[in-house]
């Protein structure tokens, strides 16, 4: 067994000890337990540590440990999992190679399913675009608005039901944990499963809340605000979130937004849209990179650009990037809780609430630039202090 081990990040102490144990049976049981944790989609810190352990144990001297690792890797969100499984599929022990082949098969099946979903969405959008091309600009816009209104109505109804059910399940999970503790059932027998169920419930609630935000019709007050202050606030929020993440990328920000520029928009919605866009830019950067925010005035409108030097987006994914629930980051390490609603909410807030426009240009491997066009004048109320 390899001597070195990764540092523990939010892993139970007994699991960490078992994964580095000198007893191969203890290591086997620990990897099996890690499989359960990965199925429950924990946060990025324990996932990062668990995957590092699996990388190390993939070369374990005991074939039983390697077999458990091959099973666990099926549920790892790390891109390296496929490479490790391909290596284990050549293992001289047939039990190990068969387990690796089965895990690879399951991962490929899931990838094909996600690809089919993406194609269905792209096909529907193409049909809408074809209809729009045959109509006047006004009618094309109306077609899009009618479709979006229908989608928002469905999203609001579903989000209400899902939130109600998830809250009830969350309460039941909490009570189950208390009852098991009261009966003095050993925590090893249930703690991981109860915590995994609670995490899944929280993820479901997060998705439902995003759906509700997308469907929300009320617009906050429109005010004349400083664009630079809104950008600075959004950068501070995103920067604080990434500052507490172990292994977060090193991101340099360059801001060239004139302080005198003002726009008339719902301030709350603009800041939230910028947070979503900037978070997406940060997450596109693997280790180190730059996020540039610039603004200028063109034809009485403010043109704001957010450019990153990240991984970029495939051309086929760009067609559906703003579609609700779609994400280009699912499966990437550190984005296990990504729900795919960030960019769709940003588009809604910019286009519907701020009466602006949003567009995207991206090249795989070269980065992405989001362009947001905002009105300089719209409302009567003036709030320079904001």
Which residue, 215, 244, 272, sits at the end of a domain?
A: 215
pLDDT reported for residue 340: 59
Q: Is the pLDDT of residue 384 over 60?
A: no
Q: Do 232 and 362 sit in the same domain of this protein? A: yes
Q: Are 236 and 198 in a shared domain? A: no
Domain tally, the chain: 3
Q: Which residue has the higher pLDDT, 242 or 251?
A: 251
Write out pLDDT tens, residues 271-310. Answer: 989 998 998 899 888 888 999 999 999 988 999 999 999 8
151 & 170 share domain: yes
Q: Per-residue pLDDT for 152 more than 60?
A: yes
| Environment class of 161 (CB within 10 Å of its CB; exposed 0-12, middle 13-18, buried 19+) | exposed
Q: Which of 40-44, 248-252, 258-262 is least confident?
A: 40-44
Mean local confidence (pLDDT), 376-385: 54
Query: Does 72 share its domain with 192?
Result: no
370 lies in the same domain as 238? yes
Task: Report which of residues 219 and 349 the model is more confident about.
Answer: 349
Confidence of residue 96 (pLDDT cuts 50, 70, 90): very high
The chain-wide mean pLDDT, for the chain, equals 81
pLDDT tens digits along 17-39? 899 999 999 999 999 988 887 87
The residues facing 296 across adjacent strands are 303
Looking at per-residue confidence, does 151 or 107 come out higher?
A: 107
Distance CA 168, CA 142 (A): 39
pLDDT band at 202, cuts 50/70/90? confident
Q: Residue 120 falls within a domain, yes or no?
A: no
pLDDT bin (cut points 50, 70, 90) of residue 42 is low
Those residues whose C-beta lies under 8 Å from the C-beta of residue 37, and which sit 6 or more positions away, are: 15, 46, 50, 192, 196
Region 100-105 average pLDDT: 93
- ∠ CA 320-359-232, rounded to 5°: 115
Q: Are residues 180 and 315 in the same domain?
A: no
Judgement on whether residues 73 and 32 belong to the same structural domain of the protein: yes
Task: Examine the domain organization and report whether 363 and 256 are in the same domain.
Answer: yes
Helix residue spans in the chain (DSSP H): 13-19, 24-39, 44-57, 63-72, 81-88, 94-133, 137-182, 191-215, 227-243, 267-283, 315-318, 342-348
Q: Given 172, 193, 215, which residue is the final one in a domain? A: 215
* Same-domain pairing of 242 and 336: yes
CATH of the domain at 347: 3.30.565.10
Tell me: pLDDT of 109 over 50.
yes
Tokens at 65, concatenated = 């440990």
pTM value is 0.54
- Kindly state whether residues 287 and 204 are assigned to the same domain: no
Residue 114 has pLDDT above 80, yes or no: no
Q: Are residues 262 and 193 in the same domain?
A: no
Residue 71 CB partners (closer than 8 Å, separation 6+):
32, 35, 99, 103
Q: What is the pLDDT of residue 333?
A: 41
pLDDT computed for residue 328 by the predictor: 57
Structural domain contains residue 125: no
| Percentage of residues of the chain with pLDDT beyond 90 | 32
* Residue 59 within a domain: yes
Out of 215, 248, 267, pick the residue that ends a domain. 215
Pair (237, 371) in one structural domain: yes
Which token pair is 81? Answer: 């999992």
Tokens of 186: 């050993």
DSSP for 247-315, written as a single string: T--EEEEEEE--TT-EEEEEHHHHHHHHHHHHHHHHHT-SSEEEEEEEEEEETTEEEEEEEE-S----H
Please indicate, yes or no, if residue 174 is contained in any of the structural domains.
yes
The answer to the question of residue 287 being in a domain is: yes
Rounded to whole angstroms, the Cα distance separating 309 from 55 reads 29
CA-to-CA distance for 73 and 55, rounded, in angstroms?
9
Flag whether pLDDT at 382 surpasses 60.
Answer: no
Q: Which domain holds residue 356?
A: 222-375
User: At 150, is the secondary structure helix, strand, or coil?
Assistant: helix
* Mean pLDDT within 259-278: 91
Residue 2 lies in a domain: no
Highest mean pLDDT among 137-151, 161-175, 316-330: 161-175
Q: What is the pLDDT, as a whole number, of residue 324?
A: 62
């Amino acid at each position: 067994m390899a001597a070195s081990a990764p540092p523990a990040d939010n892993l139970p102490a007994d699991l960490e000890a078992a994964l580095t144990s000198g007893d191969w049976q203890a290591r086997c049981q620990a990897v099996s337990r890690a499989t359960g944790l990965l199925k429950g989609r924990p946060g990025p810190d324990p996932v990062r540590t668990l995957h590092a352990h699996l990388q190390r144990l993939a070369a374990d001297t005991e074939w039983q440990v390697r077999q458990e690792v091959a099973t666990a890797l099926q549920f790892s969100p790390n891109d390296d999992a496929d490479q490790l499984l391909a290596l284990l599929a050549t293992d001289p022990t047939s039990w190990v190679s068969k387990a690796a082949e089965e895990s690879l098969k399951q991962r490929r099946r899931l990838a094909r399913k996600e690809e089919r979903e993406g194609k269905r969405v792209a096909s529907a959008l193409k049909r809408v675009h074809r209809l729009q091309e045959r109509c006047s600009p006004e009618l094309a816009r109306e077609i899009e608005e009618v479709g979006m209104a229908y989608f928002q109505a469905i999203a609001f109804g579903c989000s209400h039901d899902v939130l109600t059910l998830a809250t009830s399940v969350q309460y039941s999970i909490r009570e189950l944990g208390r009852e098991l503790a009261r009966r003095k059932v050993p925590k090893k027998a249930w703690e991981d499963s109860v915590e995994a169920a609670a995490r899944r419930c929280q993820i479901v609630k997060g998705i439902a809340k995003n759906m509700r935000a997308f469907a929300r019709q009320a617009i906050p007050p429109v005010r004349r605000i400083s664009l630079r202050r809104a950008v600075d606030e959004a950068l501070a929020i995103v920067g604080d979130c990434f500052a507490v993440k172990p292994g977060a990328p090193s991101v340099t920000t360059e801001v060239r937004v004139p302080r005198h520029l003002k726009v008339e928009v719902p301030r709350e919605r603009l800041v939230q849209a910028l947070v979503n866009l900037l978070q997406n830019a940060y997450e596109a950067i693997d280790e180190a990179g730059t996020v540039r925010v610039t603004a200028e005035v063109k034809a009485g409108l403010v043109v704001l650009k957010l450019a990153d030097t990240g991984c970029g987006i495939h051309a086929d994914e760009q067609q559906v990037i703003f579609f609700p629930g779609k994400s280009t980051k699912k499966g990437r390490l550190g984005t296990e809780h990504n729900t795919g609603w960030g960019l769709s909410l940003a588009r809604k807030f910019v286009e519907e609430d701020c009466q602006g426009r949003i567009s995207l240009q991206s090249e795989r491997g070269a980065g992405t630039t989001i362009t947001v066009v905002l009105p300089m004048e719209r409302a009567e109320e003036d709030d320079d202090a904001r």
